Structure 1
Amino acid sequence: MSNITWVTGRPRLAGRVRYVVLAIVAIPWVVLPFWILLVNSFKTESEASTPSVWLPQHWAVLDNFGTVITQGQYFTGLRNSLLVAIPVVLGVLILGSMAAWTFARTSSRWLRGAYYVMALSIVLPPAIVPTVVLLTRAGLTGSELGYILALLGTRVGVIVFLTTGYIRALPIDFEEAAQIDGANRWQVYWHIILPLLRPILFTAAIMTVINVWNDFLFALYMIKGAANATLPLTLYNFANAGQYGVRWNLVFAHVILTSLPLLIAYIVLQKRILSGLTEGGVTG
């Protein structure tokens, strides 16, 4: 009896140790920076000039966030970020899953070579200057369309890499049965492949949204004008607009508002995100 208790108690102990280790890692690297960011966004300019972990002596929540919304072009940046993120995510998921299906089912050496080239784009840094030159020659520099195309080209490799292995683990019987019944490749993809890829594509969509939403370098070089600026650019412009140095209380408030849509999405969809990661890890 004691042996059974000892054996069953080991997983519980291991689980508790795992949670303790995760908490020890998360507190200094995640919780504490977020707390400093949040609490200093509530302070006055003089208090926030030297950021600390203490609560403010004088609260300025409405003034700080109101100033960011009225003077920081927050809603303009939010609109532009949504106009960029939505087509990029949809385009990356559709094009990436189509390419991954082809790579997973092919026996061509040329296509396998193309797969490795696309996978290599994950570790290589994005070539910003050549991309800007190409967009300039195409007449797309400074436009949202050029920025969207650049993000599509640089982010699709991650989706291809994630979904190719996932598709290789899927049985090919459904595809062959659909083709025997007269379905063309588009119908097989839309009615067979895409529903099977839903868990991994949902997780990939979250990863892409975070990456695109926080993109700064491409936006800095490819977007012209305050009217087209995304949220990271509006934050950058707002932080450098002060004549007497950076007003940290307003910068922290802007960062909070910039991250708020992603935070809300994570809270609402956290169960789907975790289940997608689990199913992707098991199936792939």
Structure 2
Amino acid sequence: MKSNKFLFRGFASHAILTIWSISIGMLLYFTIISSFKTNKTVFKQLWSLPEKLNLVNFQNAWSNLDFGRYTFNSVFVVIISVTLIIIISAPASYALTRMKIRFAQPITFFYLAGMGIPFQLLLIPLFKIMASLNLVDTLPGLIIVYTALSIPFTVFLLTGFFLSIPSELEDAAYIDGCNEFQTFFKIMVPMATPGIVTAAIFNFIGLWNEYMLALVFTTGTKNRTLSLGLYSLYSSLQYTSDWCSIFAGSVLVIIPTTIIFIILSEKLISGITLGAIK
């Protein structure tokens, strides 16, 4: 009975994942091929390949989206935010899991509690704080908000990786004369590199696609990110029925995350596997 139960659960989970993957693949396929079509053929030939590559859609999206400025804003904000998140979260995770710190467990639960608070509840107090510091509608202000709200999840993720590292390596480093900082930077960080890369990828993808916080904390057009720019592109082109340019803008936005995932996919998979083993 137990074997049949586990078999049914495995079949059900694989079926759900297969249906989900096919649905996402079809949406991506439709978005990509539609970005090369004309507005006359996009709905007449819904799933067929375009007879001719229409690159004018990308030109329209680029000019209407102000892609250069918004790309720079997104790249700057996301890279600085992810760097700060890792710099803060990695030592905190190491200290909470490997060092004998008083109240380490309550502090860990404190971080976990931060994951359970919807960030929508924090929008008003965060906005008041950032406004009092004159950081609303600034890229540094958005970086601070992204970093602060991403630390709890990253600490939770990295604690699993540091716990999976054998303690014998740490003991050997102490025997060789390493102090806490040397052990962390020379032993623990190289061993936890797959986990750190995994956390960086998760944060990069999440912050690259983030919309709500960017909408609240960037009130003007100068400091908009790509997610806000894509919505403004949709708002400006929906009444002209230029759907192909909207699809082209969507393709331009998803290209960076796709490239990063392809390059670092092996690190991501190895990191997830490492974090699951304790």
Task: Please give the TM-score of this superposition, normalised by the length of structure 2.
Answer: 0.85
Equivalent pair of 1:44/1:59 in contact (CA under 8 Å): no
User: Does residue 218 of structure 1 match 2:185?
Assistant: no
Question: Deviation of residue 151 (structure 1)?
Answer: 0.5
Counterpart in the other structure of 1:81? 74
User: Does residue 61 of structure 1 match 2:54?
Assistant: yes
Equivalent pair of 2:36/2:50 in contact (CA under 8 Å): no
Counterpart in the other structure of 1:149? 144
Structure 1 spans left out of the alignment, 5+ residues:
1-14
Counterpart in the other structure of 2:158? 163
**58-67 vs 69-78, which moves further:** 58-67
User: Does residue 32 of structure 1 match 2:26?
Assistant: yes
Q: CA RMSD in A?
A: 2.7
Question: Deviation of residue 255 (structure 1)?
Answer: 0.7
Structure 2 spans left out of the alignment, 5+ residues:
1-9
Equivalent pair of 2:92/2:155 in contact (CA under 8 Å): yes
Question: Deviation of residue 221 (structure 1)?
Answer: 0.9
Question: Deviation of residue 157 (structure 1)?
Answer: 1.0
1:125 to 93, 118, 124: 118
**174-183 vs 208-217, which moves further:** 174-183
Question: Deviation of residue 162 (structure 1)?
Answer: 1.3
Task: Please give the TM-score of this superposition, normalised by the length of structure 1.
Answer: 0.83
Equivalent pair of 1:93/1:205 in contact (CA under 8 Å): yes
Question: Deviation of residue 181 (structure 1)?
Answer: 4.7
Question: Deviation of residue 95 (structure 1)?
Answer: 0.8
Q: Deviations over 1:177-224 (max 9, x none)?
A: 444555443322211221121011111111111001001111111123
User: Does residue 41 of structure 1 match 2:35?
Assistant: yes
Note the 1:1-284 alignment, pairs <5 A: 22-28=17-23, 30-48=24-42, 50=43, 53-55=46-48, 59=52, 61-106=54-99, 110-126=103-119, 127-179=122-174, 181-242=176-237, 244-245=239-240, 247-282=242-277, 284=278
Between the two proteins, what is the percent identity of the paired residues? 27
In structure 2, distance between residues paired with 1:125 and 1:52: 42
Q: Deviations over 1:110-168 (max 9, x none)?
A: 33222112112223211222211111112211111110010001111111101113222
In structure 2, distance between residues paired with 1:51 and 1:170: 57
**164-173 vs 136-145, which moves further:** 164-173
In structure 2, distance between residues paired with 1:32 and 1:189: 45
Question: Deviation of residue 37 (structure 1)?
Answer: 1.2
Alignment size in residue pairs? 267
